[in-house]
């Protein structure tokens, strides 16, 4: 009797794991098809130029303050931490190069990606989910316009193109934050600090930073659009779509960051 109970519990657990794995695989397949469809349709006319311009303002321009502030404070904190750790090894002079390389290769794209994920992915998911539950997506179709072309393609294209630009600006501000703290608070010589910063930066660091940012941009917009389009009816559906978009975008950013770092890793 007891053994039967244990056996049942084991099979229930196994079947629940199996069901969830299958669901996850189905959703991953759905997502890949969704992104491919959006990318293919974005190459076909009409191009809805106005909608692209609107997204530049909403996604690119409006994210600038969030990215700038985050990068500035993180740059400052990074300089302090590296100084504190470096002083134990008499390596204080490494602060400028580590701040620059750390920001370019890692912190810049990841922080920018996470901040934009919180802002843009949530906004896209909420907007599209609301459009779905209020039948605006159906209205678009009946007006002869493909929602994938009109809504999804501009968001994916603009986020993928503009996240590298935002990251580049974030990198400059972050490095400047480190410079400001190092020269004003830690007593570094401004001229030597800048010289040391630029001495160790390589083209590969910049390419790595911008490549990561472009991939994160694709992830952020795809998650927002995908969960927005899949939203079920009602306010609960909109809330769920927004949460799912932000959580999955953040996890995928961190996971793909590791994978990209592994690919671009140089000893």
- Give 36-99 as a 3 state SS string: HHHHHHHCCCCCCHHHHHHHHHHHHHHHHHHHHHHHHHHHHHHHHHHHHHHHHCCCHHHHHHHH
Our CB check for other proteins shows the closer of 46 and 65 to be 46
Our CB check for other proteins shows the closer of 58 and 215 to be 58
- Is residue 139 at the binding interface for other proteins, with CB under 8 A as the rule? yes
Among 2, 4, 142, 267, binds other proteins (CB under 8 A): 142
- Is residue 135 at the binding interface for other proteins, with CB under 8 A as the rule? yes
- Window 45 to 84, contacts with other proteins (CB under 8 A): 46, 48, 54
In the complex, the smallest distance separating the C-beta of residue 46 from other proteins, rounded to whole angstroms, is 7
- Window 23 to 52, contacts with other proteins (CB under 8 A): 46, 48
- Is residue 145 at the binding interface for other proteins, with CB under 8 A as the rule? yes
Q: Identify whether the C-beta of residue 165 lies closer than 8 Å to the C-beta of residue 265.
A: no
Phi, psi of 259 (to 5 degrees): -65, -40
> Using alpha carbons only, what angle is made at residue 11 by residues 7 and 13, rounded to the nearest 5 degrees?
115
Our CB check for other proteins shows the closer of 25 and 141 to be 141
Q: How far apart, in Å, do the first and last CA atoms of the chain sit?
A: 60
Binding site for other proteins (CB under 8 A): 46, 48, 54, 127, 130-131, 134-136, 138-146, 150
């Amino acid at each position: 009797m007891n053994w039967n109970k244990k056996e049942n519990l084991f099979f229930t657990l196994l079947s629940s794991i199996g069901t969830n794995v299958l669901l996850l695989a189905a959703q991953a397949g759905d997502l890949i098809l969704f992104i491919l469809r959006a990318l293919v349709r974005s190459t076909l006319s009409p191009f809805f130029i106005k909608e692209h311009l609107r997204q530049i303002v909403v996604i690119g321009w409006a994210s600038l303050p969030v990215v700038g502030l985050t990068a500035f404070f993180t740059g400052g904190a990074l300089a302090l931490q590296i100084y504190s750790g470096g002083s134990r090894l008499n390596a204080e002079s490494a602060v400028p190069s580590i701040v620059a390389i750390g920001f370019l290769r890692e912190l810049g794209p990841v922080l920018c990606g996470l901040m934009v994920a919180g802002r843009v992915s949530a906004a896209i998911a909420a907007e599209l989910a609301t459009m779905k539950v209020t039948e605006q997506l159906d209205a678009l179709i009946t007006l002869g316009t493909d929602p994938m072309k009109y809504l999804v393609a501009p968001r994916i294209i603009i986020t993928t193109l503009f996240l590298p630009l935002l990251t580049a600006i974030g990198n400059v501000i972050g490095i400047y934050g480190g410079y400001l703290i190092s020269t004003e608070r830690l007593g570094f010589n401004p001229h030597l600090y800048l010289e040391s910063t630029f001495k160790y930066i390589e083209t590969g660091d910049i390419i790595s930073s911008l490549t990561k940012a472009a991939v994160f941009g694709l992830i952020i917009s795809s998650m927002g659009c995908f969960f927005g389009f899949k939203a079920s009816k009602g306010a609960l559906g909109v809330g769920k779509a927004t949460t799912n978009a932000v959580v999955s975008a953040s996890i995928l950013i961190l996971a793909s960051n590791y994978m990209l770092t592994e690919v671009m890793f140089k000893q």
